[in-house]
Chains A and B, each alone.
Chain A
Amino acid sequence: MNPFAEREKALLELERRINELRAATADQPMDMSSEIAALESRYQEILREVYGRPTPWQKVHIARHPDRPTALEYIAALDRFDELHGDRYYRDDQAVVGGFGLLRGRAIMAIGQQRGRDTKENLRRNFGMVAPEGYRKVRRLALLASRFGVPIVTFIDTKGADPGISSEEHAQSEAIAQSLVAFTNARVPIVATVVGEGGSGGALALGIADRVIMLENSTYSVASPEGCAAILWADASKAEEAAEHLKLTAQDLMRYGIIDEIVPEPLGGANRDPIGIVTRVLERVDAALAALERFTPSELLTARYEKYRRMGAWGERAPAVSG
């Protein structure tokens, strides 16, 4: 259940009354500004109360909010975008979108997982759960970026890889495994941003990067909270408990050195200022690309190897558990 549902209703109601009052005062001489100000301060108060210190489970819901900017919003804000389709074997998976584009004049290969914003689009995009054909498209585009010499910019937003019959029949494991190889070997800078939810290997398939950015309320975990609860306790309804354990927030992952940067969101989440967030994220991606510009391909590959070589390396972090 969405932990915000009740309070969101209250916020919507306040918003409606503020707008009504504004409309009313627009064509009438009476001054309602103090009433409006009072309602607005009440609105901010509830917002702070509800979203001031979100729990991990609340962040999962902010990250999944239907109005949160999705990959296509970021891609639409590029100077230009030419979509490339298909895996060259079987079909074009709509759960992932990719192609060449320009970001502030810089040529890039943009690749993003696309969930839907409504039921119809969710069906077409399979809720952002990518099938093997999609990961093969991702791999192909990563190789293409290397051949063109243009950096790769990814937008991650998925609960996990598609777990269907057809995906297993088409070798989901192999498709993800080979996407990991393509990103590991890409001779161009890679900047990955977790814009919504990053779940499991299905997210990591777009996530091996020289710089990893997360939005303040995005989540990134070894499995979705539902998946983790199903695996550990055979009960997906214990997702909230799993979310607490998984250390899936941007702040936790920054502390662990697994991500490199956090982009702040407005109070209540990116959905409250989509245009502002998209602009800010693209600014940070551009800055990351500018910083990576001076490295040769072999320097990039060496630094990338060493970065992942250190991840969870033994002896550097916590003392061994006794026994």
Chain B
Amino acid sequence: MPMPEWLNRRRGKSDDRDAAQWSKCPSCGEMLYRRDLAGNLYVCSRCGYHFRMGAYDRISTIVDGDFTEIGAEVRSTDPLLWSDRKSYPAKLAGDRERSGLSEGIVCGFGEIGGYDAALGVMDFHFRGGTMGTVVGERVTLLLEEARRRRTPCIIFTASGGARMEEGMFALMQLAKTTAAVTRFMGDGNLLFTVLTDPTTGGVSASFAFQADVVIAEPGAMIGFAGRRVIEQTIRQKLPDRFQTAEFLLEKGHIDMVVDRRHIKETLARLLEYAVKGAQRLQEASR
């Protein structure tokens, strides 16, 4: 879709929500004026704390201009006819209303620093970014289309794991996205992931850690098992740094931790290496 339409979509919701003009930084307690916070990509200007960010906001800070969304027509179903405190369709409707999103990921194509890229951005505000059939299907469609176009793919993750309310259909999305990733990468295409807070469970145990280059945002919580589950299992409290991006960097699990304000230029540099490498291969094979 052309720029103004999706830009409106991202702004439409947040204006009503911003009745409160100020946000308190949960890390340092600084009172931040909402408009300044948005201008600073939702990073606290005092301590650098990274707030969670909406998918359309994120896309607007990453792509140069136009963003062509794909897979938006893929909508949630209720395969298990799940109902606990609330029915699953009611939970979905509530999240659609609150987040302004149709599901937990927005996918499409755009340019980043002048380079073509496929881009998928997960959003924690929709069902905690959990992966059900729609997230799995949209990621798969994105990778299939990127493979046809021979375009590198970048996925921003934010996920509490597989979506319980879709049961085994949700677990099968790990298999489905893995199949799409392996076909995409098997043809020599490059996949980059940017892990944002939080990235756990089924998403971290599939495409998040199947990528060629894995970047994380500062302070992001990243792991397989959630903190509460581990604490209950071992019956002790975990250190604060455990499972943070910085902890994972130290342990050698990720390539780099990059401040949100530098992520676009970092991605552009990686895309440049990829394009230059591809050009060299093409010339060498002539």
Decide yes or no whether A317 CB sits under 8 A from chain B. Answer: yes
Decide yes or no whether B148 CB sits under 8 A from chain A. Answer: no
Decide yes or no whether B253 CB sits under 8 A from chain A. Answer: yes
Name the residue on B nearest A305 (C-beta): B179
Decide yes or no whether B133 CB sits under 8 A from chain A. Answer: yes
Interface residues of B in 234-262 (CB under 8 A from A): 234, 238, 242-243, 251, 253
- Contact indicator B92/A176 (Cβ below 8 Å): no
**Chain B residues, Cβ within 8 Å of A165:** 230, 234, 238, 242
Other-chain contact of B169, A178, A311, A320, A321 (Cβ < 8 Å): A311
- Contact indicator B179/A318 (Cβ below 8 Å): no
Give per-residue flags for B151-185: 1 if the beta carbon is below 8 A from chain A beta carbons, else 0: 00000000011111011111111111011111100
**Chain B residues, Cβ within 8 Å of A30:** none
Identify whether the interface residues of A are mostly helix, strand, loop, or mixed. helix
- Contact indicator A222/B79 (Cβ below 8 Å): no
Whether A181 contacts B205 in the complex (CB less than 8 A), given A230-B229, A247-B168, A256-B79, comes out as no
What is the minimal beta-carbon distance from A245 to any residue of chain B, in angstroms? 6
Name the residue on A nearest B199 (C-beta): A173
Bound together, the chains give a CA A201 to CA B208 distance in angstroms of: 14
Other-chain contact of A178, B76, B161, B210 (Cβ < 8 Å): B210
- Contact indicator B176/A311 (Cβ below 8 Å): yes
Count of chain B residues with a beta carbon within 8 Å of a chain A beta carbon: 68
A-B contact number at CB 8 A: 198
Decide yes or no whether B100 CB sits under 8 A from chain A. Answer: no
Whether A208 contacts B175 in the complex (CB less than 8 A), given A168-B243, A323-B96, comes out as yes
- Contact indicator B201/A201 (Cβ below 8 Å): yes
A181-B182, A321-B89 given. 9 additional CB < 8 A pairs? A163-B224, A163-B230, A171-B253, A172-B224, A172-B225, A185-B186, A222-B167, A230-B228, A246-B167
Q: Can you list 28 pairs linking A and B with CB atoms under 8 Å apart?
A: A163-B229, A168-B242, A171-B209, A172-B224, A173-B224, A176-B224, A178-B210, A180-B205, A201-B171, A201-B205, A207-B175, A223-B162, A228-B164, A247-B167, A305-B183, A309-B140, A312-B137, A312-B170, A312-B172, A312-B173, A312-B176, A314-B137, A317-B79, A318-B77, A320-B75, A320-B76, A321-B78, A321-B92
Q: Which A residues lie at the B interface, using CB under 8 A? A: 161, 163-165, 167-169, 171-174, 176-178, 180-181, 184-185, 200-201, 204-205, 207-208, 220-223, 227-228, 230-234, 236, 241-242, 245-248, 253, 256, 258, 304-305, 308-309, 311-315, 317-323
Q: Which B residues lie at the A interface, using CB under 8 A? A: 74-80, 82, 84-85, 89, 92-93, 96, 132-134, 136-137, 140, 160-164, 166-176, 178-183, 186, 201-202, 204-210, 222-226, 228-230, 232-234, 238, 242-243, 251, 253
